[in-house]
Each structure stands twice: as C-alpha cells, then as structure tokens.
Amino acid sequence: MKYNENTRATLLEKIKAAMSEKRFNHVLGVEAAALSLAERYGESKEKASIAALTHDYAKERSDSEFKQVIRDYDYDLDLLNWNNAIWHGLVGAQFVEKELGITDESILQAIRLHTTGASQMSLLDKIIYVADYIEAGRDIPGVEKARAIAKKDLDEAVAYETKHTLAHLIDINAPIYPKTIETYNRWVAKKN
C-alpha cells in the first residue's frame, strides 16, 4: 500500500470514527511521539505513523466482539479469561488487518505488543510501546522521567515503563498477564 496524504486521510477518518475524541487525540499524540523516536533511532516514519495511528483502533469494541474473534481465529483460549486491557492490542491487530487492510506484519506485531511488551521486541515494537506511554497528553506519575530517558536510551525507556506499569498494577491488585512478566524479566531484571 502506498502511504500518501490521501491514504493517511482515509485512515484517519476510519480511526476517528472508531473512538472517542479523547482517545483520538491520544492516538495523534502517540503518532507525534513515535515519529520523533523513529527519527532518533532510525525506524521507518511511515511504519511508525501507521502503527501509532492504529494501535488503539479496537479499544472501544465490545467484549463479545473480542471473544468472537478469539474463538473464530484460533487464539489461545486462555485469552477468554482476560479483558479489554489485554485484548485491544493482542487481538485488536486482527480488526486492524481486516477492517483497515493493514497487512505489514511488523506493524501488526507492534500493535499486538503495545500493552504488554514482550521479551523479544523489534525497534518498531519498542517505539510504539514507549510512545504510548510518553505522548504529550499523558499525565502518568513519572512520565517526565520516562520522556527524558526515551531521548537517551530506548531500551532503558522500555524498562522504566515496564517497571512502573507493573508496580502500578500490583498496587491496585490487578491480575498480571504472563507476557507482562516476561517483559519485566527481560527488560527490567535483564534475565537471559
């Protein structure tokens, strides 16, 4: 697919129609942050833009739609025991592929991994994971520190975000998805 002003405008229209204004503004913030990281660390700006714009595309879908996709597309059925927080990326990529026609596997993977991270992450995966956390509209405690780290060392930014997200989830007694722990072990504890 050729990515030009026309295709971008069409994509933006579909994304805007799929979410609240607040979330759409978040998505635009993630795109700006991802483009800046792509420039700094040498990733394709086109891929960074498309992955950022689509990363939360499915977030406002109903639980029943996600459950249907999990069953119909042979996902691990353990996913049925989780919720939108985990589904909207991991399973949401399916909606992006089907409805927006995005087939680039590296983009789809960055969407899949944007919430939990993973032990193995490509440059694009890291950029989307970090951009989602540091975009200008975010007001998370410690976000200024995360922004400063992201300008110096992307792997360290992945570690910082992972540690703080996990600490927050533990603080509120949330269940931890195993992939989030894998991310912690690799990027924070630096376990081989």
Binding of Fe ion by 125 (CB under 5 A):
no
Q: Which residues contact 192 (CB under 8 A, 6 or more apart)?
A: none
By the 8 A CB rule, do 183 and 162 touch?
yes
Binding residues for ligand GDP restricted to 37-76, rule: CB under 6 A = 56, 59
Out of 56, 57, 61, 107, the only residue in the binding site for Fe ion (CB under 5 A) is 56
3-state secondary structure of 130: helix
Indicate the residue type of 63: D
Binding of ligand GDP by 169 (CB under 6 A):
yes
Binding of ligand GDP by 176 (CB under 6 A):
yes
Binding of ligand GDP by 115 (CB under 6 A):
yes
Out of 34, 132, 184, 187, the only residue in the binding site for Fe ion (CB under 5 A) is 132
3-state secondary structure of 124: helix
Q: Which residues contact 68 (CB under 8 A, 6 or more apart)?
A: none
By CB under 6 A, which span of 14-22, 64-72, 108-116, 147-155 interacts with ligand GDP? 108-116
Taking CB within 5 to 8 Å according to partner kind, which of Fe ion, ligand GDP, none is near residue 177?
A: ligand GDP
CA–CA gap between residue 28 and residue 130 (Å, rounded)? 14
Binding of ligand GDP by 89 (CB under 6 A):
yes
Nearest-5° Cα angle at 39, 119 to 154: 30
3-state secondary structure of 145: helix
Binding of ligand GDP by 112 (CB under 6 A):
no
Binding of ligand GDP by 95 (CB under 6 A):
no
Residues that bind ligand GDP (CB under 6 A): 26, 56, 59, 85, 89, 114-116, 132, 165, 169, 174-177, 180
